[in-house]
Chain A
Amino acid sequence: MAATASSCEAGDRGGRILRDAVRHSAGRTVVLAFVATASTAAALALPAVLGHTLDLLLARRDAEAGCWVLLCAVLVGVPVVLDALDELLTATTAARTTAWLRHRALGHVLAAGPPATARIPAGDLVTRLVGNAAHAGTAPASLAGTLAALAAPLGGIVALALTDVWLAVAFLAGAPVLALLLRSFARASADSLTGYQRLQGEIAGRLVEALAGARTIAAAGTAGRERARVLAPLAGLAEHGHRMWKVQGRATAQAATLVPLLQIIVLAVAGYELSRARLSVGEVLAASRYAVLAAGIGALVGHLNALVHGRTAAGRLAEVHALAPVRHGTLRLPPGGDGTLRLRGVSAVRGGRRVLREVDLTVPGGTTLAVVGRSGTGKSVLAAVAGRLADPDAGEVTLDGVALRDLTREELRAAVGYAFARPALLGGTMGGTVAFGSFTPDRDAVVAAARAACADDFVRKLPEGYGTACAAAPLSGGETQRLGLARAFAHAGRLLVLDDATSSLDSVTEAKVAGALLHDVAARTRLVVAHRPSTAARADRVAWLDDGRVRAVGTHEELWRLPGYRAVFEE
């Protein structure tokens, strides 16, 4: 029920997006509609005029024919200009609309923040911004061409009927075969395509296996053998491929007979009428051309399909537009605050489950609080709520006495920094990744932050050092984490939240990073989600989270006496 309602709603909103898009390019759409319709009108007029001209010429009424030849020239020449304009406008309008839709959708994603990907998975979101936006972008131009697309086949049939009513009858009687023949195509090709894709998947699967064992294969010198093994299904693939082409050839051949045969039927009727002097030679020529235009009804189906696709794509974009933007306040932090973080009665619900229940916590300015607990006890949600990556469903989070939701976005992000277990590396290069954020620190600050996060050494050893593109250097989990830490260090404000951000570092490196965090990083207050006892031991205090509640707060040594606390680390 709810799903149906929401998809209807999305459809409506999709319609609204298309209307907005058409309005955005209103002038172009109108011109395009005019151009396409005018070109089609010329195409419809040409066979009749050409036929009449031919009749005059055959009758040796050359003087009279002169004007008509001129008219033919106009009907040939003007559509050239119109079609050029049509092509240009169709392409540029689609490009312009696509870009406009992408800008808007990107804005909505950014304004909604992390809840966007909780609602629509990241991969799906990309499909919408890339593929669906491009599809929806073609809608205004398609819409503008609708009248023309409709006019050509209908005009063709009408013209046949006007020339001689039996011509139209012959055409309409032969046409239904079209649908039947085209129908036989889709089924036949699906079978061999499935087989083809299965073998293709098998080759890909074997390749992935071999790539995962690349080091073993290189060391054993068995690359040649592996190649043969991966390529073994290739012969089968080619076999399926040949079969697919065969099926397609048969279907194409069937489809290729249709329009010419229809045309011949019309011509036979026209010829018979010619022999009874009820039609002229020129009219026979026109009839044969009109039969082709009328057969363009298949293209009309394609056109309507494109419109429907555009609307569906717009509906999927509408869901992106419907993402609720995060609202920020207008307040700023009191100057000189020490970064005291306070959670009061904070509750959070995820997937219908209460993951945080009435959490009260205070992290005094300048101290480090570790948050520990078994997996699934709400540690990451707590970390998200503490820096307003998500809003709690109840309760309040304040920094230096100001509620986070009352702060301006700029003030909030300058004050709170984050590092994650699996940071996304944005910013293009290694250096750009560290600099990525609300402001761009200078190179020295970037290097200093990287050094504090134990990332400087490995970055320097990359082929281009800090200029190495992220895509060019596959990083291990630990290296990625260190870059994420460096990014957080380079932008440190009053509060730094480390959400399991050192989980892939060995104890020695982690200890170094922890030391740097205390001495070299400007952040005053730290909230650290931790899985290791050593991390918890280094914090000033530890909050032990269990099933969404704070079980106890104290130093690691104090809590270590509790068996339940020790059990947290034995997972």
Chain B
Amino acid sequence: MPKTPMGRWSDGLGFLLRRWRVLAGLAAWSAVEAVQTFATGYALARALDAGFLAGRPGTGLGWLAVAAVAVVVGAYGTGRTYGGVAALVEPFRDGLVRRVVGRALRDGDDGEAVSRLTHQVEIARDAFAGLVMVARSFVFTAAGALAGLFVLAPVLLAVVVPPLVLGLVLFLATLRPMARRQEAFLVADEAVATSLGEVCAGVRDVTAGGAEEYVRRETGALVDAELRAANALARWSVARVVALAVAGRLPVIPLLVAAPWLLARGVSPGALVGALTYLTQSLLPALQNLIHGLGASGTRLMVVARRLTTPPPAPRTAAVPSAGVPSSAGSPAVELRGVTFGYGPHAEPVVRGLDLVVPAGEHLAVVGPSGVGKSTLTGLVAGLLEPWSGEVRVGGVPAGERGARRSRVLIPQEAYVFSGTLGDNFRYLRDGPVPDHEVMAAVEAIGAGRLLSGGGLDAPVVPGALSAGERQLVALVRAYLSTAPVALLDEATCHLDPAAEAHAERAFAARPGGTLVVVAHRAGSARRADRVLVMDGPGTLVGTPRELLARSALYRDLQGASQPAGAARDADRVDAVPGPGLAGDGRHVVAHRAVGQVQAARDLPDGGPLGRE
């Protein structure tokens, strides 16, 4: 649910209130800074009245020296306020970074996470800092100047304050409409940048399709829309100039008009000069900074912060209580009953009414055209996806529950290796300490010995320096070390050569009590399995490799048995893999018969009838 503006305001207020000490420090140093403002007019007035006009230039110079000292003291205060600003801004940035990282980890990469982290967070940080500086500076400069006016002659306030307040009210009134236009402009600007980016990256496709006119029209319309947004924003800037004039410039005139009256009431010439100095040299620049700064920083902060903090739609998988029914000894390793699943409310289901039972200890291969839903199936079994209807159980426990999570391990195609030691990467799925010899045994079993050539388990790993195959070996060792009895290999060996793949698969199949589900990448992988699930929409079948050669034309195709001469060697290379979280191109998987009638697991000689390896 998107946050209401009220919620965001109270969040912001809470953030500031929790840091009242920082705010107090900031106020104290700002007060020091305001000393300079105060002295600007007051010392000048005294220098004139008590010094230069009284024929005592020494006294005059003395007061100016006081002003010079105040400048230095004030500047010191200015310098120290940055410490306070940092104490507000840095935690603010930390909070944003935490949010961005947390959100990216929860919802996956939408291609923008890094930009949000490095670019947008920095914009928000700078804008927030600008906002704090400008607001703080205005408040204390105004206080310093007004205090100076009061000390010079309280009556001066009566002349200066009303236009100042009027101008500020006018400015505050323009704040919201201007922010809206500023935001509209930023959105239009981004749309132009995105569109131009797509066009420049796709010039070849534009030319090839002869779509120049279309692009000129569509992208051109966005450019014109941005122009309109910029003009609308520019028109409101007039209001800003007027507000500035009323608050900062006009007060000079009533002061001059009232001068004879003020002089008659005992206001000294020096005080009059001091008042004019406060107006033109303190208040006007401070107002200028406030009006320009608040307009720009405030809106940028609002827009970016909204983007960074708006919570995304609720995650697809519902939270499941962690009670975890203990698995009964007799229940199958994996069990799907009438499972239907699709990726969105308007999407057609990828899997429809699927029944499947995998007994403990079985080695099942899943094959089918790219995108038919093989990865979706592993996602359902792993509990990462929640079926629309039907039930998925792992070891007798519903797949989404924590108990089920302990009984399966999923190894996706894109192997995860993080910067750390090799040993840390291997032990990733184990809670307690794992002795080195156990790790080494797993390395041996998977056939990943070459990973250790760089310096053993404590050698640091640079993920980018590993080949795709080496990364997959790391993930396989890690999964082998986990205590989960059910291993789900989702094209987890696609970057290994066929021999290494066979070695790794056999290692998993040979784990005592281990159940293995392999989304097959090569034909040989299916031939090694006890049974094969051929996903092909309504034609979905399950059987032994030998049976399927007779029963499934698709299986024969995938095995390369019906390819033309010369193409056969190509059949071992099924490259395409659907993106994670996406539906593929097959027809719906409709189980029109119970495919889960478990057959006794039997040992097949590796390779099967077409074995060529």
Indicate if B516 sits at the interface (CB-CB under 8 A).
Answer: no
Indicate if A226 sits at the interface (CB-CB under 8 A).
Answer: yes
Indicate if B493 sits at the interface (CB-CB under 8 A).
Answer: no
Q: A352 → chain B, closest Cβ, in Å?
A: 22
Instruction: Report Cα–Cα, A242/B88, bound state, in Å.
Output: 10
Query: Among the listed B199, B566, B578, which residue makes an inter-chain contact with A556, where contact means beta carbons less than 8 Å apart?
Result: B566
User: Which residues of chain B are near A116, meaning CB under 8 Å?
Assistant: 200, 203
Which 10 A-B residue pairs are closest in the complex by CB-CB distance? Answer: A213-B416, A413-B210, A463-B344, A249-B82, A424-B202, A461-B583, A438-B210, A253-B79, A95-B230, A91-B234
Question: Does the CB pair B411–A95 fall under 8 Å?
Answer: no
Indicate if A5 sits at the interface (CB-CB under 8 A).
Answer: no
Q: B94 → chain A, closest Cβ, in Å?
A: 6
Indicate if A477 sits at the interface (CB-CB under 8 A).
Answer: yes
Question: Does the CB pair A479–B578 fall under 8 Å?
Answer: yes
Q: Once A and B bind, how many residue pairs between them come within 8 Å at the CB atom?
A: 494
A76-B250, A215-B410, A508-B558 known; 16 new pairs, CB 8 Å cut-off, are A80-B241, A95-B231, A126-B200, A129-B196, A130-B196, A213-B414, A214-B580, A221-B405, A285-B277, A389-B208, A436-B209, A458-B578, A479-B582, A507-B557, A509-B370, A560-B565
Residue of B nearest to A476 (CB): B579
User: Which residues of chain B are near A264, meaning CB under 8 Å?
Assistant: 64, 67-68, 71
Question: Does the CB pair B234–A246 fall under 8 Å?
Answer: no
Indicate if A410 sits at the interface (CB-CB under 8 A).
Answer: yes
Instruction: Report Cα–Cα, A206/B428, bound state, in Å.
Output: 16
- Contact (A537, B416) CB under 8 Å given A87-B240, A204-B118, A426-B206: no
Residue of A nearest to B383 (CB): A219
Query: Among the listed B47, B214, B428, B582, which residue makes an inter-chain contact with A271, where contact means beta carbons less than 8 Å apart?
Result: B47
User: Which residues of chain A are near B83, meaning CB under 8 Å?
Assistant: 242, 245-246, 249
Instruction: Report Cα–Cα, A220/B384, bound state, in Å.
Output: 10
Indicate if B237 sits at the interface (CB-CB under 8 A).
Answer: yes
Indicate if B444 sits at the interface (CB-CB under 8 A).
Answer: no
Question: Does the CB pair A462–B343 fall under 8 Å?
Answer: yes
Question: Does the CB pair B114–A207 fall under 8 Å?
Answer: yes
User: Which residues of chain B are near A406, meaning CB under 8 Å?
Assistant: none
Query: Among the listed B208, B256, B281, B567, which residue makes an inter-chain contact with A288, where contact means beta carbons less than 8 Å apart?
Result: B281
Residue of A nearest to B250 (CB): A76
Interface size class of B (residues with CB under 8 A): 35 or more
User: Which residues of chain B are near A413, meaning CB under 8 Å?
Assistant: 207-210
Question: Does the CB pair A271–B51 fall under 8 Å?
Answer: yes
Query: Among the listed B55, B201, B238, B281, which residue makes an inter-chain contact with A424, where contact means beta carbons less than 8 Å apart?
Result: B201
User: Which residues of chain B are near A216, meaning CB under 8 Å?
Assistant: 410-412, 415-416, 475
User: Which residues of chain B are near A437, meaning CB under 8 Å?
Assistant: 209-211, 214
Indicate if A238 sits at the interface (CB-CB under 8 A).
Answer: yes
Query: Among the listed B110, B203, B237, which residue makes an inter-chain contact with A109, where contact means beta carbons less than 8 Å apart?
Result: B203
Q: Which of A21-29, A52-60, A306-314, A358-366 contacts B (4 or more CB under 8 A)?
A: A52-60
User: Which residues of chain B are near A122, meaning CB under 8 Å?
Assistant: 200-201, 203
Chain A residues 505-529 with CB under 8 Å of chain B are: 505-509, 511
Chain A residues 483-538 with CB under 8 Å of chain B are: 484, 487, 491, 503-509, 511, 532-534, 536-538
Question: Does the CB pair B576–A509 fall under 8 Å?
Answer: yes
User: Which residues of chain A are near B570, meaning CB under 8 Å?
Assistant: 507, 532-534, 569
Query: Among the listed A201, A245, A285, which residue makes an inter-chain contact with B82, where contact means beta carbons less than 8 Å apart?
Result: A245
Indicate if A165 sits at the interface (CB-CB under 8 A).
Answer: no
Question: Does the CB pair A215–B576 fall under 8 Å?
Answer: no
Indicate if A475 sits at the interface (CB-CB under 8 A).
Answer: yes
Q: A472 → chain B, closest Cβ, in Å?
A: 9
Indicate if B319 sits at the interface (CB-CB under 8 A).
Answer: no
Query: Among the listed A58, A454, A475, A487, which residue makes an inter-chain contact with B582, where contact means beta carbons less than 8 Å apart?
Result: A475
User: Which residues of chain A are near B263, meaning CB under 8 Å?
Assistant: 57-58, 60
Q: A245 → chain B, closest Cβ, in Å?
A: 4
Q: Which of B3-11, B171-179, B346-354, B501-509 contacts A (4 or more CB under 8 A)?
A: B346-354
Indicate if A412 sits at the interface (CB-CB under 8 A).
Answer: yes
User: Which residues of chain A are near B82, meaning CB under 8 Å?
Assistant: 245-246, 248-249, 252
Chain B residues 376-429 with CB under 8 Å of chain A are: 382, 384, 402, 405, 408-412, 414-419, 428-429
Chain B residues 554-587 with CB under 8 Å of chain A are: 554, 557-558, 560, 563-567, 569-571, 574-587
Instruction: Report Cα–Cα, A566/B234, bound state, in Å.
Output: 68
Q: Which of B98-106, B151-159, B433-441, B598-606 contacts A (4 or more CB under 8 A)?
A: B98-106
User: Which residues of chain B are near A73, meaning CB under 8 Å?
Assistant: 253
User: Which residues of chain B are near A387, meaning CB under 8 Å?
Assistant: 208
Query: Among the listed B105, B346, B564, which residue makes an inter-chain contact with A223, where contact means beta carbons less than 8 Å apart?
Result: B105
Chain A residues 386-410 with CB under 8 Å of chain B are: 387, 389, 409-410
- Contact (A532, B567) CB under 8 Å given A91-B233, A129-B200: yes
Question: Does the CB pair A219–B410 fall under 8 Å?
Answer: yes
Instruction: Report Cα–Cα, A403/B409, bound state, in Å.
Output: 61
User: Which residues of chain A are near B180, meaning CB under 8 Å?
Assistant: none
Q: B139 → chain A, closest Cβ, in Å?
A: 17
User: Which residues of chain A are near B321, meaning CB under 8 Å?
Assistant: none
Question: Does the CB pair B579–A424 fall under 8 Å?
Answer: no
Indicate if B245 sits at the interface (CB-CB under 8 A).
Answer: yes
Question: Does the CB pair A219–B384 fall under 8 Å?
Answer: yes
Residue pairs across A and B with Cβ atoms less than 8 A apart, 5 shown, are A212-B414, A221-B402, A253-B79, A260-B40, A420-B205
Instruction: Report Cα–Cα, A532/B245, bound state, in Å.
Output: 74
Question: Does the CB pair A477–B209 fall under 8 Å?
Answer: no
Question: Does the CB pair A252–B79 fall under 8 Å?
Answer: yes
Query: Among the listed B86, B98, B346, B402, which residue makes an inter-chain contact with A246, where contact means beta carbons less than 8 Å apart?
Result: B86
Question: Does the CB pair B90–A504 fall under 8 Å?
Answer: no
Q: Which of B219-227, B302-310, B357-365, B538-546 contacts A (4 or more CB under 8 A)?
A: B219-227
User: Which residues of chain B are near A99, meaning CB under 8 Å?
Assistant: 223-224, 226-227
Indicate if B89 sits at the interface (CB-CB under 8 A).
Answer: yes
Indicate if B109 sits at the interface (CB-CB under 8 A).
Answer: yes
Q: Which of A100-108, A152-160, A545-553 contacts B (4 or more CB under 8 A)?
A: A100-108
Q: Which of A11-19, A182-190, A229-237, A330-338 contacts B (4 or more CB under 8 A)?
A: A229-237
Instruction: Report Cα–Cα, A493/B583, bound state, in Å.
Output: 31
Query: Among the listed A69, A458, A507, which residue makes an inter-chain contact with B583, where contact means beta carbons less than 8 Å apart?
Result: A458
Residue of A nearest to B55 (CB): A275
Q: A254 → chain B, closest Cβ, in Å?
A: 7
Residue of B nearest to A453 (CB): B585
Indicate if B455 sits at the interface (CB-CB under 8 A).
Answer: no
Question: Does the CB pair A464–B576 fall under 8 Å?
Answer: no
Instruction: Report Cα–Cα, A50/B279, bound state, in Å.
Output: 13
- Contact (A223, B106) CB under 8 Å given A57-B256, A256-B75, A389-B207: yes
Chain B residues 60-79 with CB under 8 Å of chain A are: 60-61, 64, 67-68, 71-72, 74-76, 78-79
Residue of B nearest to A221 (CB): B405
Query: Among the listed A53, A83, A281, A538, which residue makes an inter-chain contact with B269, where contact means beta carbons less than 8 Å apart?
Result: A281
User: Which residues of chain B are near A213, meaning CB under 8 Å?
Assistant: 414-418
